[in-house]
């Protein structure tokens, strides 16, 4: 019985070693390298497009902020500051007493 376990153990060890020694790793590396280089170049292009888009968004945002600040400044200089009426505060049903109609 012990001989069977020992033989099985060595058979598994030899199988793992043979697979490790005879694995075809050398042939697949150039293909994988080329594929990874293509993927990296595609990702660089996408990153450059995203950077350009973010820069456009920043320009648009700064333009809008400048327009809003200029219009606020002009209103203050002319003395015509807009007076906004406050919105009505919603009533909370938990605050009302029985028989209290709001």
Q: What digits encode the pLDDT tens for the residues 73-90?
A: 777 777 655 555 666 776
The answer, as to whether pTM is greater than 0.85, is no
Q: Is residue 72 within 8 Å of 66, Cβ to Cβ?
A: no
Percent of the chain with pLDDT over 70: 73
Phi-psi region of 41 (alpha: psi -120 to 50; beta: other; left: phi over 0): alpha
| Burial of 58: CB neighbours in 10 Å, binned 0-12, 13-18, 19+ | exposed
Residue 97, pLDDT score: 60
CA distances from 28 to 10, 24, 32 (A): 30, 7, 6
Polymer length in residues for the chain: 102
């Amino acid at each position: 019985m012990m001989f069977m376990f020992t033989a099985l153990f060595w058979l598994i060890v030899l199988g793992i070693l043979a697979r490790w020694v005879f694995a075809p790793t050398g042939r697949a590396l150039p293909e994988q390298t080329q594929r990874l280089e293509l993927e990296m170049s595609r990702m660089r292009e996408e990153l450059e497009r995203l950077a350009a888009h973010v820069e456009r968004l920043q320009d648009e945002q700064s333009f809008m902020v400048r327009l809003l600040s200029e219009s606020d400044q002009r209103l203050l200089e002319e003395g015509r500051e807009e007076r906004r009426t406050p919105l009505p505060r919603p009533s909370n049903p938990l605050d009302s007493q029985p028989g209290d109609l709001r």
